[in-house]
Amino acid sequence: MLPGESILGVSQDQTTIWIADSRIERGKNELRIRGIDTREGKSIGPVTRLPLGADPSGESFREFESPELHPILLGDMQYFNDRLMVPTVAGLEWFHLKSGTSLKFLTWPHESTGGSIFPISNDGQEWGLIHRGDLTRETKSHLEVWTTSDVRVQPSEKR
């Protein structure tokens, strides 16, 4: 493991451990994921680069906060059913890790401030969110529960 990396989980077929590198370079806005073969302990193929639809420059932050410090990720990523949910400043993004494809993108509901997400249902239609207060965004800590019917779903290609 390298600095900035964290284990997301094991694939459904138990053959791959997925590792995310949360060090996101400014301007690139991509998340790097790599797989490790559970039988041999070796990396599987090249690093997968998942393009994030988040642009931290467009978000409302306090004026004294420099753009280099604006977050892209708003909380912990969640891996389940070979899919990855990524909470970004733009909304929730779903990716299929084996193919590296974007599955869908949900903007945050109007009342939401984003945060660490957790699935409530196996199909990804219901999810909860824990938001830790953030001085730069002038928000307080709280818990939210949402379903996809509460938000506008955008196909990934139309971002």
Domain ranges of the chain: 5-158
Rounded CA-CA distance 91/4 in Å is 22
CA–CA–CA angle 132, 149, 147 (5° rounding): 40
Closest C-alpha to 105, from 92, 88, 87, 90: 92
Cα 53 versus chain centre, distance: 10
pLDDT for res 40 = 93
Cβ atoms 60, 67 nearer than 8 A: no
Neighbouring C-beta atoms of residue 149, cutoff 10 Å: 8
Q: Tens-of-pLDDT digits for all 159 residues of the chain?
A: 778 889 999 988 999 999 998 887 767 788 899 999 999 999 988 888 888 875 555 544 444 445 555 567 877 888 888 889 888 877 888 898 888 888 888 777 777 767 777 777 777 677 777 777 667 667 777 777 777 665 544 444 333
Rounded CA-CA distance 80/120 in Å is 11
CATH number of 5-158: 2.40.128
pLDDT for res 155 = 41
Rounded CA-CA distance 32/40 in Å is 21
